[in-house]
């Protein structure tokens, strides 16, 4: 039932944009930007959980603290201390900015709006390239000089194309020429989500914090009223479910990136055939929206798991490979 409602909502959103040459490009941009915002939460949540974990370990010790004891936490707060972790965050942000720029260019109603969107688009592509090189540890650019020059030329010109058909053709060139960059940046974000084993780390750290709450509850339970005990248990249960949903959250992040890569690839293929509105584009954008709506949903994972739902001691409730 939930999936049907999501599909209907996706259809309404895309249908509203599909009647013009730039409509489905705009719909792709909106959907992809929404999803990258969710992925951003996963990456930043790791930092928050890391801090919670360190504070929980401090709280478990029976000792007095001074502000200097918080100094190690500064390293977590200053994200660029770890260039690769920060680059992952920035690469995802750049992917989101690219999507927003496409939608803004497609929907722009004035030259000023188109100019602003063009600048943002250019900056997002440069940021993707820069952070890809940091994560990959390479000096090689994502795109060759010829493709870079072509994209730069079209981006510079697009703000002067007030007529929608000319703007659509300019967006077509941008999307076709930047597709290999989108595929590469999507792949490396996904690889980093797997490589850094965020799920097991977040799960373990959330478990440490929860253990502290249980220890505190068990020490004082006989002195608490029913209402106070129930309130404490409600809070701890929410923490427990959040911990168990860790695997589902990371899986959805990976699915989200894959859905953006796929939709952009479909958009490129259809635009190469001058198909600005098609069922294939419609379907691929719908898949992004479906992922967005079911994001961080443990129930969704359990209902739609095609193998077996299992409990992993290091990841929580997951779908068996």
Give the separation between CA 175 and CA 25, rounded to whole angstroms.
9
Neighbouring residues of 128: CB distance < 8 A, sequence distance ≥ 6: 91, 94, 95, 98, 142, 181, 185
CA distances from 160 to 52, 163, 174, 205, 228 (A): 50, 9, 15, 52, 65
CA quadruple 255, 260, 264, 267: dihedral positive or negative?
positive
pLDDT at 5: 40
Residue 154 is predicted with a pLDDT of: 85
Q: How many CB atoms lie within 10 A of CB 232?
A: 17
State pLDDT tens for residues 38-61. 788 777 777 777 788 888 888 888
| Domain residue extents for the chain | 2-319
Burial class of 198 by CB neighbour count within 10 A (0 to 12, 13 to 18, 19+):
buried
Q: What is the mean pLDDT of each run of 10 residues along the chain (321 residues)?
A: 42 50 86 85 75 83 86 64 70 92 87 87 91 89 82 78 77 92 92 68 82 90 90 91 75 85 95 91 87 62 67 66 70
How confident is the model at residue 202, as a pLDDT? 75
> According to the model, what pLDDT value does residue 303 have?
62
Confidence at residue 52, expressed as pLDDT on a 0 to 100 scale: 82
pLDDT in tens, 179-198: 999 999 999 888 877 665 56
- Tokens encoding 204: 């373990």
Is 318 buried (19+), middle (13-18) or exposed (0-12) by CB count in 10 A? buried
């Amino acid at each position: 039932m939930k999936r049907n409602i999501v599909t209907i909502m996706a259809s309404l959103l895309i249908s509203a944009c599909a009647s013009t040459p730039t409509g489905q490009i705009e719909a792709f941009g909106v959907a992809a930007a929404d999803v990258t915002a969710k992925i951003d939460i996963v990456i930043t949540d790791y930092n928050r959980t890391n801090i919670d974990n360190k504070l929980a370990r401090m709280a478990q010790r029976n000792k007095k603290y001074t502000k200097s004891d918080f100094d190690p936490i500064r390293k977590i707060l200053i994200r660029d201390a770890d260039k690769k972790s920060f680059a992952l965050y920035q690469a995802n942000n750049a992917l989101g900015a690219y999507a927003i720029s496409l939608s803004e260019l497609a929907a722009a109603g004035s030259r000023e709006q188109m100019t602003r969107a063009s600048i943002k688009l250019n900056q997002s592509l440069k940021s993707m390239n820069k952070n890809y090189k940091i994560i990959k540890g390479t000096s090689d650019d994502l795109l060759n000089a010829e493709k870079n020059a072509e994209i730069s030329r079209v981006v510079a010109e697009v703000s002067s194309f007030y007529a929608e058909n000319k703007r659509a053709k300019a967006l077509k060139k941008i999307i076709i020429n930047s597709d290999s960059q989108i595929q590469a940046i999507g792949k490396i974000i996904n690889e980093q989500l797997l490589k850094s084993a965020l799920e097991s780390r977040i799960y373990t750290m959330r478990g440490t914090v929860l253990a502290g709450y249980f220890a505190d509850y068990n020490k004082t339970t006989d002195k608490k009223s029913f209402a106070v005990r129930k309130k404490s248990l409600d809070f701890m249960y929410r923490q427990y479910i959040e911990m168990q949903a860790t695997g589902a959250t990371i899986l959805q992040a990976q699915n989200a990136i894959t859905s953006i890569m796929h939709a952009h690839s479909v958009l490129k293929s259809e635009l190469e055939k001058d198909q600005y509105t098609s069922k294939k584009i419609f379907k691929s954008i719908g898949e992004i929206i479906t992922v967005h709506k079911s994001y961080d949903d443990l129930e969704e994972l359990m209902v739609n798991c095609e193998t077996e739902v299992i409990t992993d001691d290091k990841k929580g409730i997951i779908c068996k490979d």
